[in-house]
Amino acid sequence: MPARPVPVPHPLFGHTPRVVPARPSAPGSSLVGMSLSRRLSRVRLRHLWRGVRWYVGTLTFLQAVTIAVIVVVDRVRKQREPAAGEFPRVDPTTVRVANGQVTVFTYGADLYRDMIERIEQAERFIYFETFIWKADETGHAVKTALLDAARRGVEVYIVFDSFGNGVVPRAFKRFPRMRRLHVLPFPFIRPGLLTGDLRKTGRDHRKILVVDGRTGYVGGYNIGDLYATTWRDTHIRVDGSSTWELEHAFASFWNDHRKRRHPIIEAKGARSWDARIRAHQNNPSRLIFPVRGTYLDAIDRAQHHVYITQAYFIPDREILGALVAAAERGVDVRVLIPEVSNHVLADWPARSQYTELLEAGVSLWLYQDAMIHAKTMTVDGRWTTVGTTNIDRLSMTGNFEINLEIFDRDLAKHMESVFYVDLTNSRRLTLQEWEARGILARVAERLLKPLAPLL
């Protein structure tokens, strides 16, 4: 810092005033401007943070109010106009596929009767896995058949999801101690769940039954009276060497999640290789989700038609884009969903995508008077998938799921006939009708759209 200029001597007193050197600036005084800038930045951040909190809080409040109103309105509507639970039925049909047979079930009572008969005929082992298992007449019938099999010396392995059966009485979920009975309740809370570990967040949404390695079942049916007669669902039974696909899927899940008290299921290689029937398993523990890829691949290959039946239809951007692209290139894309599902909150986030689908030429069909719970798709009369996976985030990239992918024209032809029968119990949603919906419905759709990734 330079000294002050030397002053001129005073003409009367003759002496020269003392030159006082400039004092150095106080530490940090050169940063006064910067400190002020920082203060202003902090003020702006505080205001921004308050704005974000206000926005999130307001949005959450409005979403909560909207959800409450929708739930109340839906409950009142169902009380005034209960679903008849009646729908056109297709008898169980068997088609020869690969080196075995595939039987399609579209009525729960037929399926449960067939499953119990096969359980009663078991000689060596039974693998049984389900998401929901009701403590009603149907649930007790299945449980009794499994316990009787264990008593006569059959190795019985049982898996059920604790979350899916949270409201089922505890007494029903208790099993007697038996040498050949092995029960694994898939836990509701697992280490890592509360910390957001994606490997620990999935539920066991699969429905599998394998008997003696000769017969296997998979599809959308849970176990209960409700599903036996009043829900429209789809399950298939596989007889022959391709049963290994389901046998291996169960054994892998069991060995990955069993407790020390549970025996290990010996891994067995495929008895034969046939690409016409393959199982695809979504496994969040390993962050593997191949089912979504099979859907995308089949839609992208489609040349003539794509017929989809879904209980909860909330496609992500890639699947939505694939469906739109297929329709725009002239493919007949039809999606069959419930008019009102059993989870009304899953319906509303999906509706925000209807406009894009309808404008592209995708036809939406709304199933009437019953809950349709099937998870199927057939493409171009040659490719079919049946399983447990919904087209939503929770199934595609969240839960443990399993779908069979089947290349066979005869099976695809039968699945198309099932689809046509279902259309006779449905109404088509037109773009004109959709655009005429009220402002309150549009607001609710917009408010609930952010919830789609959670469903």
pLDDT for res 191: 72
User: Which pTM value belongs to this model?
Assistant: 0.85
Q: Are 126 and 149 in contact (CB under 8 A)?
A: yes
Q: Enumerate residue ranges in the chain where pLDDT < 50.
A: 1, 3, 10-13, 16, 20, 28-29, 31
CB atoms within 10 A of CB 406: 24
CA distances from 85 to 134, 229, 230, 370, 433 (A): 18, 7, 4, 5, 26
- Domain ranges in the chain are 40-80, 93-454
Which pLDDT belongs to residue 200? 76
Take residue 52 and report the two structure tokens written for it: 């974000």
Classify 402 as helix, strand or coil: strand
- DSSP conformation letters of 83-148: ----------EEEEETTEEEEEE-SHHHHHHHHHHHHHT-SSEEEEEES-B-SSHHHHHHHHHHHH
Task: Quote the pLDDT of residue 11.
Answer: 47
List, in sequence order, every residue forming a beta bridge with 385; answer none if it has no partner.
377, 405
d(CA 34, CA 27) in angstroms, rounded, equals 14
The predicted-structure confidence for 25-80, as pLDDT tens digits, reads as follows 555 445 455 576 777 677 777 777 777 777 677 767 776 776 777 667 667 766 77
Count the Cβ atoms, other than its own, within 10 Å of residue 301.
14
Which run of H or E residues covers position 219?
Answer: strand 215-219
Structure tokens at 394: 């929770």
User: What does the alpha-carbon distance between residue 100 and residue 219 come to, in Å, rounded to a whole number?
Assistant: 18
Cα 216 from Cα 125, distance rounded (Å): 12
Output the six-digit token pair for 199. Answer: 């490997």
Exposed e or buried b for every residue in 160-173, given b needs 16+ CB within 10 A? bbeebbeebeeeee
d(CA 410, CA 417): 11
> In one letter, which amino acid is 249?
A
C-alpha dist (Å) from residue 100 to 277, 357, 375? 10, 38, 23
Give the containing element (helix H, strand E) for 447.
helix 439-448
Q: What is the DSSP letter of 436?
A: T
**CATH of span 93-454:** 3.30.870.10
Identify the pLDDT of residue 18.
53
The partner residues of 309 in beta bridges, in order of sequence, read: 336, 376
